[in-house]
């Protein structure tokens, strides 16, 4: 919020090459007014002048006055250059499927503007400004989710974005889908007549793949934090040992994520009266799903950290083709549109999501087994007449299995396109898009575990019907007690079987929160940027 005008959105100045993960999170959430750093304009104008000089001197340069892909050797006459760019945008608008979510489209608009503003695309600054104008007005191009192989850039989805700039295609304005021309009018602009290279610059690039992967990363951070909380709740419910979280164990190995997770869990449990209450319980070692939380979740954190580094770089990248280098007046063809880094990053986020859910599901199964947990069977007092959490665990298992299938790397899949000119592709767009399904699955699994763990803890606190109130119970740490209160604000103790689907949905939303304890937030990649 702007302190000078509380009703006005915050202004976020985008410095091409230096946009942080935290800033990208703000863009995704909306409610910020985006501006390009004025210093970027000089580089854009210089690159545009280089392109115009090539046209004026009648040089033959790919993407400026030639065909595209397999038609790169076809020279285009001066009087057809505008048609060339317009036809490129229209011919590539072949996406299918449901539209991309609004938060993703906001990031696509912003990162495409940042990419153009790097000064290597040869387009006029007004195009980048128009992209931000659409984002600021929440006039969002309708971009079908499917149709990109993540190699010559995200051609089809970005073509749908570019269509709006030329007055074609569709956009959402105040909840209505309107033609591109009307969308441009809504932000006070006329449709563009694209100049040399401008259509190609808009279509080339990895912005859709990157925005989808960033959305997956940000949500993965939330369910990661939720998974640490649910794991700590389960440890308290079964009266497990905190000794495996001793800093000395993790320092002896040296893995950074493992060390950070162990420290975070220790901080979560600091001050708990439950942990020291059972020194002679006879439990020698907890199952791996409890004991190895630092090792498993730490490895997940390391994966998220690596993916975050790659995606931040990519969100700031000049990823179209060819690129303009004004210091030598050269236009050089390359392959920065190939989204292999994004594909790999999406794949490792997928692996992390699958493992966060897998270990949470195993802890859930532990909670339901009285032989392992010491709690009533299926976490309900009168099991038999009541099934308790029995089938909620089946749901968790189904989703964990689904995630295992979805975690198969997309980056190892490649089908050639464009008559074998584009003979190796990344499939990054699918790889990033499937993260949304995996996040949803994992949030449900972790949410069910947290609800079940709260049930386990509350057996010592909630009297059975007709029973006397329990004596003052042992409290966990202040952070864990706060999480228990947050859970109970959403779902009630399960005294007998009831319609559980609404409770599971409430806990899914709990797992997707961003307001986690500081000890967790500080280790998340987007908080550290």
Note the pLDDT of residue 284: 62
Tell whether the model's pLDDT for residue 507 goes beyond 70. Answer: yes
Task: Write the DSSP string, 495-527.
Answer: SS----HHHHHHHHHHHT-S---HHHHTTSHHH
Cis omega before residue 240 (within 30°)? Answer: no
Instruction: State pLDDT tens for residues 80-111.
Output: 888 889 999 999 999 999 999 999 999 999 99
Catalytic residues: 62
Note the pLDDT of residue 318: 96
Looking at residues 180-185, what average pLDDT do you find?
A: 98
Confidence of residue 473 (pLDDT cuts 50, 70, 90): confident
Looking at residues 18-41, what average pLDDT do you find?
A: 96
Note the pLDDT of residue 529: 58
Note the pLDDT of residue 276: 84
Task: Count Cβ neighbours within 10 Å for each residue of 485-519 and write b for 16 or more, e otherwise.
Answer: eebeebbeebeeeeebeebbeebbebbbeeebbeb
Looking at residues 12-25, what average pLDDT do you find?
A: 97
Confidence of residue 435 (pLDDT cuts 50, 70, 90): very high
Confidence of residue 66 (pLDDT cuts 50, 70, 90): confident
Note the pLDDT of residue 471: 83
Note the pLDDT of residue 418: 66
d(CA 31, CA 57): 46
Confidence of residue 2 (pLDDT cuts 50, 70, 90): low
Tell whether the model's pLDDT for residue 339 goes beyond 70. Answer: yes
Tell whether the model's pLDDT for residue 27 goes beyond 80. Answer: yes
Q: Kind of pairing, strands 32-36 and 10-14?
A: parallel
Looking at residues 377-391, what average pLDDT do you find?
A: 93
Tell whether the model's pLDDT for residue 71 goes beyond 80. Answer: no
Note the pLDDT of residue 394: 97
Task: Write the DSSP string, 3-18.
Answer: TTBTTSPEEEEE-TT-
Tell whether the model's pLDDT for residue 518 goes beyond 90. Answer: yes
* Closest C-alpha among 368, 233, 226 to residue 290: 233
Confidence of residue 283 (pLDDT cuts 50, 70, 90): low
Confidence of residue 280 (pLDDT cuts 50, 70, 90): low
Q: What is the mean pLDDT of the chain?
A: 93
Tell whether the model's pLDDT for residue 424 goes beyond 80. Answer: no
Note the pLDDT of residue 469: 85
Note the pLDDT of residue 58: 86
Looking at residues 232-248, what average pLDDT do you find?
A: 95
| 379 touches 366 (CB < 8 A) | no
Looking at residues 262-287, what average pLDDT do you find?
A: 85
- Percentage, residues of the chain above pLDDT 90: 80
Task: Phi first, then psi: give them for residue 35, nearest 5 degrees.
Answer: -135, 145
Task: Count Cβ neighbours within 10 Å for each residue of 129-148 and write b for 16 or more, e otherwise.
Answer: bbbbbbbbbbbbbbbbbebb
Tell whether the model's pLDDT for residue 321 goes beyond 80. Answer: yes
| 197 touches 123 (CB < 8 A) | yes
Q: Which pTM was predicted? A: 0.95
Note the pLDDT of residue 110: 98
Instruction: State pLDDT tens for residues 400-412.
Output: 999 999 999 988 8
Confidence of residue 5 (pLDDT cuts 50, 70, 90): low
The CATH number corresponding to 10-205 among 1.10.275.10, 3.50.50.60, 3.40.718.10, 3.30.1370.60 equals 1.10.275.10
Say which range, 64-73, 399-408, 516-525, has the weakest mean pLDDT. Answer: 64-73
Say which range, 160-169, 216-225, 454-463, has the weakest mean pLDDT. Answer: 454-463
Tell whether the model's pLDDT for residue 423 goes beyond 80. Answer: no
Looking at residues 308-334, what average pLDDT do you find?
A: 95
Task: Phi first, then psi: give them for residue 325, nearest 5 degrees.
Answer: -120, 105
Between 70 and 327, name the one with better pLDDT.
327
Where exactly are the structural domains of the chain? 10-205, 214-316+353-528
Note the pLDDT of residue 260: 98
Tell whether the model's pLDDT for residue 3 goes beyond 60. Answer: no
Instruction: State pLDDT tens for residues 341-366.
Output: 999 999 999 999 999 999 999 999 99
Give 420's DSSP letter: T
Note the pLDDT of residue 413: 81
Looking at residues 38-56, what average pLDDT do you find?
A: 95
Say which range, 280-294, 441-455, 482-496, has the weakest mean pLDDT. Answer: 280-294
214-316+353-528 topology per CATH: Fumarase C; Chain A, domain 2 (1.20.200)
* Closest C-alpha among 276, 216, 206, 215 to residue 241: 276
CA dihedral sign of residues 330, 335, 341, 346 = positive
Looking at residues 416-441, what average pLDDT do you find?
A: 84
């Amino acid at each position: 919020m702007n302190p000078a005008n509380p009703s006005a959105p915050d202004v976020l100045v985008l410095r091409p090459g230096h946009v942080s993960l935290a800033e990208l999170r703000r863009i995704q959430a909306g409610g910020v007014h985006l501006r390009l750093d004025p210093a970027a304009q000089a580089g854009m104008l210089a690159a545009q002048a280089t392109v115009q000089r090539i046209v004026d001197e009648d040089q033959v340069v790919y993407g400026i006055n030639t065909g595209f892909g397999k038609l790169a050797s076809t020279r285009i006459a001066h009087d057809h250059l505008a048609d060339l760019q317009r036809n490129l945008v229209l011919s590539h608008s072949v996406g299918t499927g449901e539209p991309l979510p609004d938060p993703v489209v906001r990031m696509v608009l912003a990162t495409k503007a940042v990419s153009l503003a790097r000064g290597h695309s040869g387009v006029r600054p007004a195009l980048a400004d128009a992209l931000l104008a659409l984002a600021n007005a929440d006039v969002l191009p309708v971009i079908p989710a499917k149709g990109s192989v993540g190699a010559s850039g995200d051609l089809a989805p970005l073509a749908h974005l570019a269509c709006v700039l030329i007055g074609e295609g569709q956009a959402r304005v105040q909840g209505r889908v309107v033609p591109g021309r009307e969308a441009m009018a809504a932000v006070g602009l006329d449709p563009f007549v694209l100049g040399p290279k401008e259509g190609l610059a808009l279509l080339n690039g990895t912005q859709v793949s990157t925005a989808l992967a960033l959305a997956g990363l940000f949500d993965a951070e939330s369910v990661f934090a939720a998974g640490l909380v649910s794991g700590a709740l389960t440890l308290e419910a079964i009266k497990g040992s905190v000794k495996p979280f001793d800093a000395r164990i993790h320092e002896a190995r040296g893995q950074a994520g493992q060390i950070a997770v162990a420290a975070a869990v220790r901080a979560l449990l600091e001050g708990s009266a439950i942990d020291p209450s059972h020194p002679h319980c006879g439990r020698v070692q907890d199952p791996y799903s409890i004991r190895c939380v630092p090792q498993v979740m730490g490895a997940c954190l390391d994966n998220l950290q690596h993916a975050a580094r790659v995606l931040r770089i990519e969100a700031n990248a000049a990823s179209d083709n060819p690129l303009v280098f004004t210091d030598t007046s050269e236009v050089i063809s390359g392959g920065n549109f190939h989204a292999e880094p994004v594909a790999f990053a999406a794949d490792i986020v997928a692996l992390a999501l699958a493992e966060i859910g897998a270990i949470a599901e195993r802890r859930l199964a532990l909670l339901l087994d009285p032989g392992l947990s010491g709690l009533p069977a299926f976490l309900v007092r009168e099991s038999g007449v009541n099934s308790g959490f029995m089938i909620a665990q089946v749901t968790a298992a189904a989703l964990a299995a689904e995630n295992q299938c979805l975690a198969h790397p997309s980056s190892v899949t490649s089908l050639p396109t464009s008559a074998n000119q584009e003979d190796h592709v990344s499939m990054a767009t699918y790889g990033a898009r499937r993260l949304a399904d995996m996040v949803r699955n994992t949030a449900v699994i972790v949410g069910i575990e947290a609800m079940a763990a709260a049930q386990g803890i509350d057996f010592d606190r909630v009297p059975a019907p007709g029973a006397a109130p329990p004596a003052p119970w042992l409290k966990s740490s202040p952070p864990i007690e706060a999480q228990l209160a947050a859970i109970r604000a959403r779902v009630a103790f399960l005294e007998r079987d009831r319609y559980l689907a609404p409770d599971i949905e409430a806990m899914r939303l709990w797992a997707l929160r961003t307001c986690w304890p500081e000890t967790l937030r500080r280790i998340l990649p987007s908080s550290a940027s």
